[in-house]
Structures are given as C-alpha cells and as structure tokens.
Amino acid sequence: MFKRSVMLAVVLAGVSLSFTASAAESVVTNKPVAPAADIQGKGIVKKIDSAAGNVNIAHEAIAALQWPAMTMDFKVSDRKLLANLQAGQSIVFVLGKDPVVGYVITRIEPVK
C-alpha cells in the first residue's frame, strides 16, 4: 500500500516537472528582430524572476534609445540567459526589438 502511493507520487512529480519545463520554453513567442545596430546597455542586476523571464536592472542611460538611467524590468528572449545571473552583479546587455513586447534582452553578460 505504502509503496504504491510512493510510486504514484513519483509519477505525478514527473508529470508536473515535465509540464513546468515545457511551459518554461517560450517567454516571448515572437523572435526578436535585431535592430540595425545592437543596442547595448550597462547596469546592475537588482532582481531576477526566472519563472516570468524577467530581470530587473538599474541601467545607465542608453543613448541610442534616448533612455535616461533608470531601474526597470526587462524581458529576456530566452530564460537561459538568466541562468548564471545574480542580484548585485554588474552586467552589460544587448537589446533586440520584439514586435509585440518591445525591447527584450538578447544577450547579457557579467562584467568583472
């Protein structure tokens, strides 16, 4: 009896895990269209929300977009980009323009 319920729990856990994994694949359904020139930014990671595919960054002014320095959420084109990030890290990032979502991060790397 005990063994059977453990087996069931394992099977259910497997099902919910694979469901979560496939749901995590698509943050942004439309592939970002690369702008004529890469738009680069610099900043500090404030918060990471892997589930939502968001990263909150205190970024410096981005001259190419005429954006002043601010702290804001960015969507990433792929959740994998968030895998090795930590809050407090200094980073550089590249923005691509998604036709639906707007500017999304297509590359992000820590700076030493």
CB of 41 to Cu ion, least distance (A): 8
**How many amino acids of this chain bind Cu ion (CB under 5 A)?**
3
- Among residues 91, 93, 82, the alpha carbon closest in space to that of 45 is found at 91
Q: Which is nearer to Cu ion, 4 or 32 (CB)?
A: 32
64: contact with Cu ion by CB under 5 A: no
**Among the candidate windows 19-27, 40-48, 68-76, 82-90, which touches Cu ion by CB under 5 A?**
68-76
Q: Which is nearer to Cu ion, 21 or 42 (CB)?
A: 42
Would you give the end-to-end CA distance of the chain in angstroms?
56
Distances (CA, A) of 51 to 48, 62, 76, 82, 89: 9, 27, 11, 10, 19
Gap between the Cα atoms of 28 and 87, Å rounded: 23
Gap between the Cα atoms of 41 and 91, Å rounded: 8
10: contact with Cu ion by CB under 5 A: no
61: contact with Cu ion by CB under 5 A: no
Q: Which of 9, 10, 63, 72 lies at the binding interface for Cu ion (CB under 5 A)?
A: 72
Residues that bind Cu ion (CB under 5 A): 67, 70, 72
